[in-house]
Chain A
Amino acid sequence: MKQIYFHSVTLDKDKCRGCTNCIKYCPTEAIRVRNGKAVIIKERCIDCGECIRICPYHAKKAVTDPFDSIRDYEYKIALPAPSLYGQFGPDYTRERILKGLLGLGFDQIFEVARAAEIVTMATQKYLQNPDVKKPVISSACPAVVRLIQVRFPNLIDRLIKIKSPMEVAAILAKNEAMEKGIPADKIGAFFISPCAAKVTSVKAPYENSRSDVNGVLAIKDIYVPLLDQMKKQKTAADTHFDLSGSIGVSWAGTGGESTALDKGRYIAVHGIKNVNAILEQTVRESLKDIDFIEALACPEGCLGGPLVAENPFVAKANLRNEAERASAGIGQAPLDDDQQYIWESNVEYRPILKLDDDMVKALVKMQRIDELTDELPGLDCGACGAPSCRALAEDIVRDNAVLTQCIIKLREKVDELESE
């Protein structure tokens, strides 16, 4: 079966100037510049959003659902990510934000922060099992899960196979709505997201065959209308919401998920390059005495996601504020049968690096890559459109590039012709 790769991260061709910023920063070397425009190699992209952050021309974007898509459903549920609370200053309390969402046209709100507390409890239980191999790796960040899927097959069994807070929130919110007598097909659950990879994990999920989330809205797209709604509010908070405690709120930032576990030694690593380094250590078993790895692809965790509106450091202060206002620990968390939150399917190793299915052929190709790399100038300038000289050599051997794409080699050739 041919695999279809959906990706949220895409290119706006008109804005792309064909510079080399994104190819240099992509952690999986998934971007090339060809014919003056960036091209994303679909099989390699993990939707981490690094290129969105780095592109000076804003040519990389994350495809999310337009706000109007909520009107496709009669009963609209908002699933705000906890990072949403970090987007607004201290005047805009969580109650005001949630009320503002109702003002935007949602019928029901279910905080993803509440679901995060359920995931926390399920994780605590999971870690108590003495048979579980440590360190256990959080699966909350979909870009990290994808990174493990393509680069660290030996760590797939270290991932906690508990659904993400977003998925758990969607299940619980829909159950609540159905209990009110609303038919399932009339209900639409929309995640309000700081994250491009979450869009991908909704459209092409790995933990179950079909996501319970119906659409994903970018925080930055609803920021202004939501602020307008809040400014119109006459009283601060006159609507009741079931709120998460400080634990759920804190999940948005780095360290939030791990401190909530309250037991064992953990590390909270953020930024995709840092995550990669820690996973390298884990795979060669040189990471000692660590029980849990919280790994988030974005700097400062979800607060630094590519779809947020506020600077992540400011957002951190805002979030801290909200966490202090919240009831300490876990709020109301209806954990009934935690079996329903276990992944229904698994991630499979996707060997994106493999040169050939036949190992002997792969060896020949690698030898050729070695020779070409020696021949290339070693500047890693990116002018050829590949992130490094070795990457160009690989592209040549894979028949995706030619040697004269290297401007130094091209000049040598021109000089040669002239001297003839």
Chain B
Amino acid sequence: MGQMIIRDFDIPANDFSVAGEASSTVRKLLSQLGVAPDRIKRTAIAMYEAEINAVIHGRGGKAHVEISGDKIIIEISDEGPGIEDLELAMQEGYSTATDSIREMGFGAGMGLPNIKKHADELVIKSEKDKGTVVTITVNF
């Protein structure tokens, strides 16, 4: 069992202005730890997308981050409506976002595919009307 840095963040519902703060904080931590820039970038992109998903779809939620010597694990959880069809949600361009969200430049259906692209491991657990837990792992 090695050293581990743990951080917890609240993700407020429907507040885009705060979204991104958690991933910025994590980015700074990883820079301090001397993680390779490319790995930091992947982490920042994947985490931000997951945060935005929680804001848009999940009525806000929480981010739990664990950084160890060889990887970062980010768990974003919400108590939102859940993802009905996970396979469909993973397809590029598929989105259940409302028109008003789309007008703000979100909801292009690229969120989950983009997380998958940048994460080394992605686990999604979702239950209808209970919520979703997205677990992202990026190896260093």
Contacts and interface: CB of A to CB of B under 8 A. Distances in A.
A224 interface: no
Contacts of B31: 151, 351, 353-354
B32 interface: yes
A265 B25 CA distance: 29
A154 interface: yes
Contacts of B3: 360, 363-364, 367
Interface residues of B, number: 28
A285 interface: yes
B20 A281 contact: yes
Interface stretch (B33-41, B121-129, B130-138): B33-41
B41 A154 contact: yes
A284 B47 CA distance: 9
A285 B105 CA distance: 13
Given A280-B24, A363-B67, A363-B69, A357 B37 contact: no
Nearest to A151: B31
Nearest to A370: B5
Contact of A284 (B2, B20, B67): B20
Nearest to B5: A366
Contact of A353 (B2, B5, B32, B140): B32
Interface string A281-322: 101111010000000000000000000000000000000000
A381 interface: no
A354 B32 CA distance: 4
A354 B34 contact: yes
Contacts of A360: 2-3, 69
A96 to B, nearest CB: 48
B33 A154 contact: no
Interface string A354-375: 1111011011101100100000
A318 to B, nearest CB: 36
A362 B33 contact: yes
A153 interface: yes
A285 B48 CA distance: 9
B29 A366 contact: yes
Contacts of A351: 31, 34
Interface in A137-160: 151, 153-154
B56 interface: no
B65 interface: no
B35 A288 contact: no
Interface string A330-362: 000000000000000000010101111101101
Contact of A362 (B23, B32, B44, B48): B32
Interface in B1-48: 2-5, 20, 23-24, 27-29, 31-35, 37-38, 40-41, 44-45, 48
Contacts of B105: 288
A349 B68 contact: no
A355 B2 CA distance: 17
Interface string B89-115: 000000000000000010000000000
Interface in A267-289: 280-281, 283-286, 288
Given A355-B33, A366-B5, 7 more contacts: A284-B23, A284-B45, A351-B34, A354-B33, A360-B69, A362-B32, A362-B34
21 contacts: A153-B37, A154-B38, A154-B41, A280-B20, A284-B20, A284-B44, A285-B45, A285-B48, A286-B48, A349-B37, A353-B32, A354-B31, A354-B32, A355-B34, A359-B35, A360-B3, A362-B33, A363-B2, A363-B67, A363-B68, A366-B29
Q: 9 closest A-B pairs (Cβ-Cβ)?
A: A363-B3, A153-B37, A284-B48, A284-B44, A354-B34, A154-B41, A353-B31, A362-B33, A353-B32
Interface of B: 2-5, 20, 23-24, 27-29, 31-35, 37-38, 40-41, 44-45, 48, 52, 67-69, 105, 140
